[in-house]
Amino acid sequence: MPRRRATPAFKTDPVPENLLQELLELATLAPSGYNLQPWRFIVVRDEANRKKLRAAAMNQPKVEQAPVVIIACGDPRAWQDGDMDQMLQDGKKAGFIPDERVAEAIRRGGSAYLKSVDPGIWVTRQTMIAFTYLMLAAESYGLDTAPMEGFWEDKVKQAFAIPEPVRVLALLALGYAQPPDKKYGDRFDLERVVFEEAFGRPWRVRAPA
């Protein structure tokens, strides 16, 4: 049984600053489509702000208890507002993009693709990978975490000056669990969630050749 649980209650013990910084750096190592990194994280530590966030998060007490809560946002337009340029510049500097011709091809291909997809799905797809990196990195460093979707997006946006068209995708409380932790709720068997070759077709472990 995995050790990580969605922590129901937190102690007030603070998260060391250097650890928090390292976790945020690890989160930003997540992959993203065209390496466009549309995630934006708001670190909430201030007591009054945690109270404000709790009110916007369906009054969940852990939002106020945990010493740190991260508001995970995604900006579906950031690629048009400078992030595409920054990514290409970084890629050239790092030696991944050899020249301007390749950069232009990425820009053209990327822009056409991004204009063809649902921006909400796109930004959620990318941001939740970084969110998961952050959660698992925190757990691997001995912190406890609680992911949350129980919040009113409009209220969170208003309280934390989050502009349109940025989406608020999830909250992550970080800190140290106040025992007792909750019990493992089990998971579906693979037969229920894994298919083979077509949706609904049962997956079977193959006998070794």
Q: How far is the CB of 75 from ligand FMN (least distance, A)?
A: 19
Task: Tell whether residue 148 is a contact of ligand FMN (CB under 6 A).
Answer: yes
Task: Tell whether residue 5 is a contact of ligand FMN (CB under 6 A).
Answer: yes
Q: How far is the CB of 196 from ligand FMN (least distance, A)?
A: 26
Task: Tell whether residue 120 is a contact of ligand FMN (CB under 6 A).
Answer: no
Compute the distance between CA of residue 63 and CA of residue 67 in angstroms, rounded to an integer: 9
Residue 37: which of 110, 130, 113 has the closest Cα?
Answer: 130
End-to-end alpha-carbon separation of the chain, Å?
A: 30
Binders of ligand FMN among residues 70 to 109 (CB under 6 A) are: none
Task: Tell whether residue 149 is a contact of ligand FMN (CB under 6 A).
Answer: yes
Compute the distance between CA of residue 150 and CA of residue 170 in angstroms, rounded to an integer: 8
Residue 2: which of 148, 183, 173, 188 has the closest Cα?
Answer: 183
Kindly tell me which residue out of 170, 172, 173, 174 binds ligand FMN, with binding defined by CB under 6 A: 170
Greatest alpha-carbon pair distance for the chain in Å reads 62
Kindly tell me which residue out of 30, 147, 152, 178 binds ligand FMN, with binding defined by CB under 6 A: 147
Strands of the chain, DSSP E? 39-44, 68-74, 144-148, 167-175
Task: Tell whether residue 150 is a contact of ligand FMN (CB under 6 A).
Answer: yes
User: Which range touches ligand FMN (CB under 6 A), out of 15-23, 32-40, 76-84, 146-154?
Assistant: 146-154
Nearer Cβ to ligand FMN (23/72): 72
Contact of 31 with 13, CB cutoff 8 Å? no
Which run of H or E residues covers position 156? helix 153-159
Q: How far is the CB of 195 from ligand FMN (least distance, A)?
A: 22
User: Which range touches ligand FMN (CB under 6 A), out of 20-28, 74-82, 145-153, 196-204?
Assistant: 145-153
Compute the distance between CA of residue 24 and CA of residue 138 in angstroms, rounded to an integer: 9
- Size of the residue set binding ligand FMN (CB under 6 A): 9
Q: Interface with ligand FMN by CB under 6 A: which residues?
A: 5-6, 60, 147-150, 170, 185
